[in-house]
Amino acid sequence: MAPKVIAAVAGLVLLAGGFWALFAPASFADFAGFPAHTHFSHDLGAFQLGIGATLLLATIWGDALAVALAGFAVAGTVHAINHIVDLDEGGAVWQLVLLAVLSVAAGTGLALRLRSLGFVTGVVTTVTTPEFAHLVRQKTISLTTYRKDGRQGSSPVSIVVDGNKAFLRSFEKSLKTRRVARDSRVEVTRSNGSGRQLTGTPLPGNLRRLEGAENRNAARQMRRKYPILHGVIVPLVHRLGRSKTGRTVHFELTARP
């Protein structure tokens, strides 16, 4: 935890310094004790923003290449914008074009890398259960539960695999939580974000609602794999809508023969 705290603090300091150099270059140069030069102060701000973004992303993203490309894309994009804004002070159009090409290349590389990761930017662990191998980097699954009359109902949910265990998250008053309380049988299938099922054989299983330390561990695994979605957005939505959604709940998925 300590290295992440240090990286986060350093990243925030560099971001603050970067914005300072960008929007108040004369003040920044005076503070640093150097002769004021608007464009060079702007460029220094761009590089500080890139390094700051890299440090912050490194605390939540689990892929080094994605972190490096994102940091370079931030610095390169701001650097290119600086050359547009400061073109009347010097420089050449070819420099601007080169910087723009590099920024676009970094952004494209980042998009391709994220796509290869299934847009899962957090940390994933090694799977020890063959049944869950295809779900390790899966961002969303279609979870099928059963109504009282036996009819099926499906909805998209996030999943995280930790060794020989798989965890799902929902909220207390959801239909699937109530259905699982009556009938723990489920089927899971790889899906896109909207819940449309992808190719593959459905995996039959059972869900067990977690409490206490097991529940906290599942929440922690969710935050590691989905640092923004399940570290910030979903908890905030559940907290703001608690009167309607109830508490956040977690389940352990067990494969059924």
Last residue of a domain, one of 116, 145, 164: 116
Assess contact for 175 and 153: CB atoms under 8 A: yes
Q: Rounded to whole angstroms, what are the CA distances from 155 to 45, 123, 131, 174, 194?
A: 45, 24, 21, 11, 8
pLDDT surpasses 70 at 1:
no
Nearest-angstrom CA–CA distance, 45 and 64: 23
Last residue of a domain, one of 87, 116, 145: 116
Inter-helix orientation angle 25-32/38-58, to 10°: 80
pLDDT confidence of residue 241: 86
Q: Which of 48, 51, 101 is nearest to 71 (CA)?
A: 51
**Does residue 125 lie within any of the structural domains?**
no
Nearest-angstrom CA–CA distance, 55 and 18: 14
Let me know if 138 is exposed, middle or buried by CB neighbors in 10 A (0-12, 13-18, 19+): buried
Same domain, yes or no: 100 and 139: no
Assess contact for 13 and 61: CB atoms under 8 A: no
Instruction: Write down the mean pLDDT value for the chain.
Output: 91
Same domain, yes or no: 246 and 135: yes
Same domain, yes or no: 41 and 82: yes
pLDDT confidence of residue 96: 87
Could you tell me which residues are beta bridge partners of residue 190?
A: 141
Same domain, yes or no: 138 and 197: yes
Q: Which of 43, 123, 136 is nearest to 83 (CA)?
A: 43
**Does residue 91 lie within any of the structural domains?**
yes
Phi, psi (degrees; rounded to nearest 5) at 244? -100, -35
Q: Which of 256, 229, 238, 250 is nearest to 167 (CA)?
A: 250
Please give the DSSP secondary-structure letter assigned to residue 24.
Answer: -
Q: Phi/psi class of residue 105: alpha, beta or left (left: φ > 0; alpha: ψ in -120 to 50)? A: alpha
CA dihedral 145, 214, 203, 122 (to 10 degrees): 110
CA dihedral 186, 139, 115, 76 (to 10 degrees): 170
Q: Read off the amino acid at residue 79.
A: H
Nearest-angstrom CA–CA distance, 190 and 175: 20
Q: What is the CATH number of the domain that holds 207?
A: 2.30.110.10
**Does residue 110 lie within any of the structural domains?**
yes
Could you tell me which residues are beta bridge partners of residue 188?
A: 143, 203
Please give the DSSP secondary-structure letter assigned to residue 163.
Answer: B
**Which run of H or E residues covers position 203?**
strand 203-209
Q: Tell me what the mean pLDDT of segment 41-46 comes to.
A: 94
**Does residue 124 lie within any of the structural domains?**
no
- Per-residue pLDDT reduced to its tens digit, 61-119: 999 999 999 999 999 999 999 999 888 887 788 898 999 999 999 999 999 999 999 88
* Cβ-based neighbour number of residue 192 at 10 Å: 12
Last residue of a domain, one of 74, 89, 116: 116
**Does residue 60 lie within any of the structural domains?**
yes
**Does residue 123 lie within any of the structural domains?**
no
Please give the tally of structural domains in the chain.
Answer: 2
Who has greater pLDDT, 2 or 61? 61
pTM: 0.81
Same domain, yes or no: 230 and 185: yes
HSE-up (13 A, CA, CB side) for residue 219:
15
pLDDT confidence of residue 198: 76
Please identify which residue in the block is written with the tokens 């539960």: 145
**Does residue 64 lie within any of the structural domains?**
yes
pLDDT surpasses 70 at 14:
yes
Same domain, yes or no: 12 and 101: yes
- What is the domain range of residue 165? 130-255
